[in-house]
Structure 1
Amino acid sequence: MNYIGTLRDQLQSMGKGFIEALPSIAIALFIILLTWIIARFAVRISDMIVGRTEIRTSLKNLVDTVVKLTIWVIGLFIAAVVVMPELTFASLLAGLGIGAVAIGFAFQDIFENFFAGILIMLREKMQIGDVIECEGITGKVEHITLRETHVRKLSGELTVVPNSILFKNPVEILTDVEQRRHDVVVGVSYDTNLDHAADVIRRAVEGVDLVLASKGVDIFAQEFNSSSVDFLVRWWAGAAPRAGWESKDKVVRAIKAALDEEGIEIPFPYVTHTFKETVPISQLGESSKPTP
């Protein structure tokens, strides 16, 4: 059998087929380029239409993604039909059906994050600009895509979080409302009149400009500590982390100044130290020596 001749014939046939297919490939490439241009213009038109509405930014991103994806699917299918005229929509679906199981197992995490991203964009809560906390990550949501969410941590670092994590785990939205409750623990000495101390603390907290006194200030005698009776002080202020820190700073300063003015002591905790001394066995009495 002439293997070299057979190989030469096959290569010639493949080359001839490739040359004959060049016009179809060129047309397909032109269709792909046209699809890219149409997709860009379609997204701009979608932004103009959706921009006139009051829907959330995440939904606008979802609409843009769906429009772009739809145009690309149609364009690629047309390009494939130009290159392979025998390809039909039914045969394409059949081919996708055969490989769907294998593709699903191979790209399980990608599909999980993809569908989680769609559901995150559709739900009303957790919008772009919210400060969230999830799985030890605290930061501001900057961008939501179909696969991942960009969270800017309060220290400045950008964390890219897979959407499946935000969808399957509890997410605490710190800025869901404009105000939230903050608290601090204040200890006073045991010889203090607790009713008087509570009144002093209440007046001090209500006098802070960042505190929403209209929503009330709670002061509870919480527990007997080692050197003090502890009060739990709670108030309402801005929901953003910085607003909470600023209000807590002013509240702590105001309480300290008010208690000092009234002569109410904030005691130091008592610390008990245990000292151990090592003594050689030779210095121990006969009764103190260990029994063998």
Structure 2
Amino acid sequence: MAAKKDTAALPQIDVRPPNLGEMWQSTVHWFSLHYLQILIAIGAAVVIYSLLTALRSVGGRLKGHPGDTLGLANVAGRAFARTTHFFMAMVAARLVVSYANPPQMVLKTVAFLFTIAAVFQCAIWAREIILGLVERRTTADESQSLANAMGLIRVLVTFALFAIALIVVLDNLGVNVTGLVAGLGIGGIAIGLAAQGIFSDLFAALSIIFDKPFRQGEVITYDQTTARVERIGLKSTHLRAMSGEKKVISNANLLQKEITSLQTLAQRRVTFAIGIIYQTPEDKAEAIPAMLKEIVEAEGHVFVNAGLVSFGASSLDYQLNFDVPDPDTHDYFLSRHRVGLAIWKRFNAEGIEFAYPTQTSFTAAPDGRAIMPYAEVQPVVRVDQPGGDARA
């Protein structure tokens, strides 16, 4: 008896298939009663669809041509140009369906199809806007780097947006999407952990493209390396060292270093260390900064400063600082070479000697007095022949 009572308490579910005959009769009855409103609604839907098609064509003209510089209007035009015909038809149907007093089944069907069309159309628009903004942040010289990353970016953005759209649609249908969301989250974490190196280099490449710490063709310095950037890839950056070697470093590792770009320098500082002997006359030692200034300005560079910086073990140490303007068109090394030769010639002409490492040793007696390092020379007496004169 308890089993029967429990069974009777369960809700009764109607599992009978829908009566297609009744549905057809109700639809025919609706057409017969509201045929005029239906024709007006269809005409209005055609007008709305035509207007949306015209707006779509305007977006196609705004998106521009491949290779053009992208503006916000071009990005919006690209998004509108991707409007689907299904979405436009469902928008028109959703706007006019209530006018003809349709059966509840028709209303639910149109609403359901409109929800699907709207959700996936928003995903398409969002994808085009995101990808357009990504391309807009780049310049022409970075097109190759962007092309390397764009394929993977498109896949990731498309997967993420359409996964969200699918979840939204299922949720509107009354499906419990909690388990699906949890599964996608766990799967995303697993994929992220497995490919964290690839994703870190990918996001580092995007950071280089967007933030522009350096660009392709620039000369940069990191650690002890000075090199020219040849290519910014999806995982690594290829450089050509000043000594000729090709260097490859991962993007994530490169961004963790302190990078100095030499490409945008308006001028470059050159430092010379000069040592002269202690026996240099005082007037000439005092005139050395003025000499160095004349030499630098005669070579067309910008004099900064020069002067005595230290008393070395075997030299008076001077330092010269000057700037080479516009290092892109002037050879930095050649400029330093010419200034060095000019200093050497001027010092030779002035009789100023460069110092070289020397060391002087002094010999002292036990009491500390300086003495000759060798014994005093005694006079030598020489007798030429027996019986001859003695000569010192």
**Could you say which TM-score interval applies, normalised by the shorter chain?**
0.5 to 0.7
Paired residues of 2:238 and 2:247 also in contact (CA < 8 A): yes
* Cα distance in 2, alignment partners of residues 57 and 139 from structure 1: 22
Cα-to-partner distance string for 1:189-243 (whole Å, 9 max, x where unaligned): 223332212222221222124x2x3xx3310211111121111111111546982
Kept in 2, the 8 Å contact 1:197–1:264? The answer is no
How many residue pairs get aligned? The number is 217
Which structure exhibits the higher relative contact order, with contacts defined as CA atoms closer than 8 Å and separated by 6 or more residues? 1
- How big is the shift at 1:56? 3.3
Q: 2:204 aligns with which of 101, 116, 119?
A: 116
SS in structure 1 at match of 2:322: strand
Question: Aligned ranges for residues 1-292 of structure 1 at < 5 Å?
Answer: 46-49=66-69, 56-57=139-140, 59-61=142-144, 63-65=146-148, 67-69=150-152, 89-90=166-167, 96-192=184-280, 193=282, 194-209=285-300, 211=301, 213=302, 216-237=303-324, 238-239=326-327, 243-271=331-359
| Partner AA of 1:224 in structure 2 | F
Q: Write the distance in 2 (CA, Å) between the matches of 1:261 and 1:122.
A: 56
Q: Which amino acid aligns with 2:67?
A: D
Q: CA RMSD in A?
A: 3.6
- Contact 1:131–1:138 (CA under 8 A) maintained in structure 2: yes
1:165 partner SS: helix
Partner-residue secondary structure (3-state), 1:265: coil
| Structure 2 SS opposite 1:217 | strand
SS in 1 for 2:226: strand
* Percent identical: 28
Unaligned runs of 5+ in 2: 1-64, 71-135, 168-176, 362-392
Pair 1:46–1:68, CA change in 2 (3 A): farther
SS in 2 for 1:258: helix
User: In 2 relative to 1, CA 226–57 (structure 1 residues): closer, same or farther, beyond 3 Å?
Assistant: farther
Change beyond 3 A, Cα 1:60–1:190: same
Q: Which has the larger radius of gyration?
A: 2
The answer to whether the 8 Å contact 2:149/2:202 transfers is: no
SS at match of 1:127: coil
Structure 1: how far apart are the matches of 2:342 and 2:348? Answer: 10
Structure 1 residue runs of 5 or longer lacking an equivalent are 1-44, 78-87, 274-292
Matched residue SS, 2:293: helix
2:154 and 2:148 map into 1 onto residues whose CA distance is: 10
State the TM-score, normalizing by the size of structure 2: 0.48
Is the contact made by 1:182 and 1:234 (CA closer than 8 Å) also made in structure 2?
yes
